[in-house]
Structure 1
């Protein structure tokens, strides 16, 4: 019996060491890619002439639009507010010289995709950034207390990813190259109490993305899901930035270093470290009443103090 227990403990110890080694290698790759920038600059441009970005009027979507234009791609900006899109388009054209197309579309509806398909016709789309999304409430709240716009959230956070991917993936497959970046959230990595709908909708994006990557990797297409934590945007009420909370521009520039690192990434090194720390919290503690009280009190207070609410 003693020999059996000894073998069990040795096996468990080796498994723990292996897991730690894998995490160390992963963090080492992040450090290398972040500081050495080994991704060739023409790589993104080699995917195709055009990049399509949803939710491009603000925040992360706007930052991707500018950064991809700076790296030599023409960009298609899709969002709800035409005035914002036109202003962003003028600035991109003036600062980068890239061509810009704008498409006005409200992703909380599901009858917009035929129009988008028609306006994308004839473009060599090399990159799709599925960024558009909605967060019902920045402050944690119980499901029945959250704003009653469930269908809009599903259309915006779930339907948009499926439909936009469907529009461009067929052409990427025929060209045997392309890059799809799906912007999920750190709250998708495991179910978050008090953010139940948002967490679940973003978890769909994770599962969908990784399944698609398995299907289309052999066809030369990169499909990557990004799971960032705090990024200071309109959706997060422009939270004060710090070592964890990034500006949209910081997050986007760093995330593009990691497009070849694998099918899932937090998008920046600080968020990878945070995700690693959160993964150590036992499930019983994470889903306890005490943790929910912590979210409703301390975390809510932090958000209220740091959100600028422009």
Structure 2
């Protein structure tokens, strides 16, 4: 009986001495939960502000806000073509800069016929270094350039080990997606700074968010475009120029598959893999609203889920997939 009384007394004493620690832990848990709720509410508000309000509330026309002409680099990609069509739908004339005019000529003619805008196709061989900028400067001379759209090369999304890539092919890919995109921005920015208005849109991929097996060049190139956009915004955002980094995930009839390890070269249409036209229609509504976005609200949900996964867990999953394939 005495032992029981002693145990009860001991338990009361321990409980009394530990109550402070229990209350402290409970307070920490409550603060942590409250912080997560605040972050969730903030993300929900951002989702509505970026993807829904701009489509419900009419804003100033793009031509009046930024300019009459757009320069599109990488128009051989479905996403860039769809984005160019959306700009043409708003009455903006297009200058296509390409190394293969055969794939862009029909698009340019179609936009002129459908929307009554002017289109110019500039053939630029960027292997000639600075000489490639001369025809681009000639095409832009005397025009109110309000937009520059750089689009990453989708062939980067094809799974391939770095050591399996031909050296010249690797150099060409890096040149097109890093050097040329930077050069195009350098050519267009002076006029925008002079007029104190304009928009630079760099379309990369959600692959910049996490490392992916077999896609070293894709993650590196998209990562460069994403950070390049953020640095440009820091430098020129206060001069009336809007810089936007678009990081889409999977898009139908496109080879971009940053959230998948599949080796197929195309994807079927769905809610999370929209057609390029659908994606471009959503993405252009975020212009002037968000400097870094997926451009499509279901992709934003995917991005939010991806952020919840620790990188070590993501890397472990990728290694397991590689070892099992």
TM-score of the two chains, using structure 2 as the length reference = 0.82
Aligned length: 295
Instruction: Tell me, in whole angstroms, the C-alpha distance in 2 between the residues paired with 1:218 and 1:281.
Output: 34
Post-superposition CA distance 1:188-230 (Å, at most 9, x none) = 1233333122101111111111111122222111100000011
Instruction: Tell me, in whole angstroms, the C-alpha distance in 2 between the residues paired with 1:89 and 1:227.
Output: 25
**What is the CA distance between 1:253 and its match in structure 2?**
0.7
**What is the CA distance between 1:146 and its match in structure 2?**
4.2
Instruction: Tell me, in whole angstroms, the C-alpha distance in 1 between the residues paired with 2:201 and 2:51.
Output: 21
Give the structure 1 partner of residue 93 of structure 2.
Answer: 74
Instruction: Tell me, in whole angstroms, the C-alpha distance in 1 between the residues paired with 2:127 and 2:246.
Output: 21
Residues 37-48 of structure 1 aligned to structure 2 (within 5 Å): 38-40=57-59, 42-48=61-67
Post-superposition CA distance 1:55-86 (Å, at most 9, x none) = 22341121122211110111101222222222
**Partners of 1:184 and 1:206 within 8 A in 2:** yes
Residues 36-185 of structure 1 aligned to structure 2 (within 5 Å): 36=56, 38-40=57-59, 42-106=61-125, 110-111=129-130, 112-139=132-159, 141-148=160-167, 149-185=169-205
Q: Is the deviation greater in 167-176 or in 226-235?
A: 226-235
Give the structure 2 partner of residue 261 of structure 1.
Answer: 289
Q: Aligned Cα RMSD in Å?
A: 2.4
SS in 1 for 2:271: coil
SS in 1 for 2:202: strand
Picking from 184, 191, 204, the partner of 2:211 is 191
Instruction: Tell me, in whole angstroms, the C-alpha distance in 2 between the residues paired with 1:108 and 1:269.
Output: 38
Instruction: Tell me, in whole angstroms, the C-alpha distance in 1 between the residues paired with 2:144 and 2:63.
Output: 13
**What is the CA distance between 1:134 and its match in structure 2?**
4.3
**Partners of 1:39 and 1:257 within 8 A in 2:** no
Give the structure 1 partner of residue 319 of structure 2.
Answer: 292
Post-superposition CA distance 1:240-281 (Å, at most 9, x none) = 111111211111011011112221010101111111111111
Cα 1:213–1:31 change in 2 (3 A) is: closer
Instruction: Tell me, in whole angstroms, the C-alpha distance in 1 between the residues paired with 2:170 and 2:242.
Output: 31
**Partners of 1:48 and 1:178 within 8 A in 2:** yes
SS in 1 for 2:156: coil
**Partners of 1:127 and 1:178 within 8 A in 2:** yes
Give the structure 2 partner of residue 14 of structure 1.
Answer: 34
Structure with the largest fraction of helix? 2
Q: Is the deviation greater in 2-11 or in 150-159?
A: 2-11
Unpaired segments ≥5 residues, structure 2 = 1-19, 257-264
SS in 2 for 1:232: coil
**1:25 counterpart = 2:45:** yes
Instruction: Tell me, in whole angstroms, the C-alpha distance in 2 between the residues paired with 1:45 and 1:106.
Output: 33
**What is the CA distance between 1:118 and its match in structure 2?**
3.0
Cα 1:144–1:263 change in 2 (3 A) is: same
Give the structure 1 partner of residue 7 of structure 2.
Answer: none
Instruction: Tell me, in whole angstroms, the C-alpha distance in 2 between the residues paired with 1:186 and 1:109.
Output: 31
Picking from 221, 224, 229, the partner of 2:244 is 224
**Partners of 2:154 and 2:255 within 8 A in 1:** yes
Q: Is the deviation greater in 168-177 or in 106-115?
A: 106-115
Cα 1:168–1:146 change in 2 (3 A) is: same
